[in-house]
Amino acid sequence: MDEFTWVPLCQGAALQEAGVAVDFDVIYKGQTVRAFAIRFEGEVHAYVNRCAHIPMEMDARENHFFDPTRQWLMCATHGALYEPSTGRCASGPCRGGLIKIAIHEDERQVFWQTAYNLIPVA
């Protein structure tokens, strides 16, 4: 894929502030993996659903990524905490941060952007 494109994800109203995520599948480095989008402080953010500590999915309950304070994204297995707006590791066992996916919200629709190592599932 030579050209990066914007892929429709969901209606903006599907993402409530610090609420349940919208998940989607992507091909990341040749493997199909889950990704998720959340809304935090009014902005939409998206990440590959892989803890930076050990590459496994972070949500114990499907599409629930926020900790009880709703201020951090949390790996349910390892307890690592990540900044919702950047994916940077804030606490706990992690090596680096979450893999961020470019996202854009246009009036009512949310889109994610492909990249050299991130493509839609056919």
Q: DSSP states of 38-107 as a string?
A: EEETTEEEEEES--SSSSS---SSTT--B-TTSSSEE-TTT--EE-TTT--EEESS-SS---EE-EEEET
Q: Is 1 within a domain? A: no
Distance separating alpha carbons of residues 6 and 16, to the nearest angstrom: 22
- Output the pTM of the full model: 0.94
Question: Model confidence over 39-62: pLDDT tens digits?
Answer: 999 999 999 999 998 889 999 899
* Tally of domains within the chain: 1
pLDDT in tens, 56-90: 999 989 999 999 999 999 999 989 999 999 999 99
The answer to whether residue 102 sits within a structural domain is yes
Task: Give the domain range for residue 105.
Answer: 6-120
- Whole-number Å distance between alpha carbons of 98 and 10: 21
- Residue 48's domain is classified under what CATH number? 2.102.10.10
